Amino acid sequence: MGKMGQYCKAFPLEAMRRFSGWRENGDPRDDDHIVYLQENHVVTDGIFIDENILFDEVTDEWKEFCHNTLNFELPDLTAERPQSLTTNA
């Protein structure tokens, strides 16, 4: 079974193909195919961070494209999660 990362964001493949350095692994897919930009900036064809990798040439230019063009921002994963609400009977 694949490993789940802490964060990924779905995009149509067409958005990724706008990057000038895009080199796609695997079989061709339609532009409207949904892919996942993972927290480590790798693109996968599914939610698992280590399976079905379509793109893994992570460079400063790719990270800049993700940030500036795709508006990809990692949330603060170290922030304390809210306590679940409890009821007093």
| Domain edges within the chain | 8-68
pTM of the predicted protein model: 0.84
Query: 56: closest CA among 13, 23, 86?
Result: 23
Distances in whole angstroms, Cα of residue 26 to Cα of each of 8, 44, 70: 20, 11, 22
Residue 80: the pLDDT is 62
pLDDT of 20 > 90? The answer is yes
Is there a contact between 42 and 7 (Cβ–Cβ < 8 Å)? no
Q: What's at 43, amino acid-wise? A: V
Q: Which one has a higher pLDDT value, 89 or 45?
A: 45
| Sheet-wide strand order for 53-55 | 8-12, 34-38, 43-44, 53-55
Q: Which one has a higher pLDDT value, 33 or 78?
A: 33
Residue 88: the pLDDT is 57
- Encode pLDDT of 23-71 as tens digits: 999 999 999 999 999 999 999 999 999 999 999 999 999 999 999 999 9
Structure tokens at 26: 């695997």
Q: How confident is the model at residue 83 (pLDDT cuts 50, 70, 90)?
A: low
The three-state secondary structure class of 20 is coil
Structure tokens at 89: 């009977």
